[in-house]
Amino acid sequence: MAKASYCMKNVYRAKWCAKHGLPLMAKAFMKLNAMLCGCHIDYKANIPLHTGLSHSGHGVVINGACEIGENVIIGHGVTIGNRMPGHGGHPVIEDGVYIGSGAYVGGGILIGKGARIGAHAVVIKDVPAGCTAVGNPARIIFNNKISG
């Protein structure tokens, strides 16, 4: 398990503040993340404390409705969120996923356990467990599923 980054610690501080009726303090932690880490990770997002963020999460944007599993590694400059208001859903990212730098993961999609998203990929469709997706729009180039 990776050590929690400063950015993720601030997200959890903001979660605590919001839960205990201190919304202004929660917003202050989010502003601190924006100034010091250059990221916006909404404290309403379901994201584990030990999510791996490369380069202290620089440029990472994560929508508040997203769900992220354990042992997920997120590169710098990644955006995870809704495609457009009213176009339904938010991404669900399962355990052990790697998301390369500059990737966009958007809409009501599921990224399966152990999947890999290439750098600068635009993912707007589901990626099955154990698969690798690259490109714009992303397509599956490698399927590492073990049949059984």
Tell me the catalytic residues.
76
Strand-pair partners of 105: 80, 123
* Closest C-alpha among 94, 114, 91 to residue 103: 91
Asked whether 32 and 10 are in contact (CB, 8 A), the reply is: yes
Q: Which residues of 84-123 are buried (b: 16+ CB within 10 A; e: fewer)?
A: eeeeeebbbbbebbbbbbbbbbbbebbbbbbbbbbebbbb
Q: How many residues can be counted in the chain?
A: 148
**CB-based contacts of 64, cutoff 8 Å, min separation 6:** 42, 43, 44, 45
Q: Which residues pair with 74 in a beta bridge?
A: 53, 99
